[in-house]
Amino acid sequence: MSSTPMQSVSAVSPFPNFKSRFLAYPQTPEEATVTCPTCGVVVLPKAVEMYGTRRYIREQCACEQDARAARDRDAQLATQRAAYAANCYTWLGTRWHDRALSAKSFATFDRARQPDAYDAARLFVGDCKGSLILHGSYGTGKTHLLAAVCNAVMAERNLSALFTTASKLFAAIQARINAKDEDYGVLVSRAIRAGLFVIDDIDKANPSAFRNEIFLEILDARVNDHRPTAISTNRLDELEKFVGGAFCSRLKIGQIDAAMNGTDFRDGLWA
């Protein structure tokens, strides 16, 4: 067998158990030479000299290195998705969190109740561009579907997502204004940069020039950056009154919309 390259390492190690671990490695290259069961390549070991002796350390073939890199990438993606999920419903602060929505999914939504809206939401996740508008009467599942969209975008497309209602968004902004030493612009910047931004019940915040400016600042930047946005409303015909005409105009770019009318599923909960 051809000789293997030798690597010299300082005999002084900061790890107290390193010497015993090193001396446990094979003493001959034959003991550390392996054949990859996947690709059949014979993998020669690396020779390392420490503590006045030589040991041989098993190396990996290309397919094993690729598999390890894939596992590392999967682990990084899982960590990233977990961070996205932890932030999606809590980003405004603990006073305005919606953690329960993290459990909502397309699987737990009864498609038979709102098939058109369900399919529109699924299509939006697949394209992940433009805007999604779910509109209609109360208690028809708009919030559930919007949360399902958020959760699917994070899990399936590995994009960040932020969920809020208009009322909670402006309550958090007002709290920062009142605090005087906190910049509400940070919240606006987060909304702009999110992979997906969702505003549920966008017509529940009382209309004002200031709020229209915030809405427009967020949506205008998102449209320019080609970032998708989703909203829900009970009053589509009056939407301009709550968000402004410029916001409504930009919302039309790449728009997918679905009406969600019918019986309020909450009926009977208090009987």
DSSP, residue by residue, 107-155:
TTS-GGGSHHHHHHHHHHHHH--SEEEEEESTTSSHHHHHHHHHHHHHH
Instruction: Tell me the β-bridge partners of 232.
Output: 134
Per-chain mean pLDDT for the chain: 89
CA 161 to chain centroid, in Å, comes to 6
Report pLDDT for 263.
82
Say what the pTM is: 0.76
Residue 67 tokens, joined: 């598999």
CA-CA distance, 44 to 38, in Å (whole number)? 16
Residue 79 is encoded by which pair of tokens? Answer: 């960590």
In the DSSP assignment, the letter for residue 244 is: -
185-241 pLDDT, tens digit per residue, is 999 999 999 999 999 999 999 999 999 999 999 999 999 999 999 999 999 999 999
- pLDDT cut 90: percent of the chain above it: 66
Q: Which CATH number fits domain 76-260: 3.40.50.2300, 3.40.50.300, 3.30.1490.100, 3.20.20.60?
A: 3.40.50.300
Mean pLDDT, rounded, for 90-103 = 93
**Has residue 270 got a pLDDT over 50?**
no
Which residue blocks in the chain are alpha helix, DSSP H? 18-23, 29-32, 62-88, 115-127, 142-156, 166-179, 185-193, 209-224, 239-243, 245-251
Q: Which residues contact 39 (CB under 8 A, 6 or more apart)?
A: 61, 62, 63
Ranges in the chain annotated CATH 3.40.50.300 = 76-260
Mean pLDDT for 159-171 is 97
- How far apart are the C-alpha atoms of 148 and 172, rounded to whole Å? 24
Residue 149: closest CA among 137, 133, 138, 135: 133
In the prediction, which pLDDT does 1 show? 45
pLDDT for 186: 96
Distance CA 195, CA 159 (A): 5
Angle at CA of residue 171, ends 168 and 175, nearest 5°: 140
User: Which residue, 196, 186, 194, is CA-closest to 228?
Assistant: 196
- 209-224 and 185-193 are packed helices; what angle lies between their axes, rounded to 10 degrees? 30
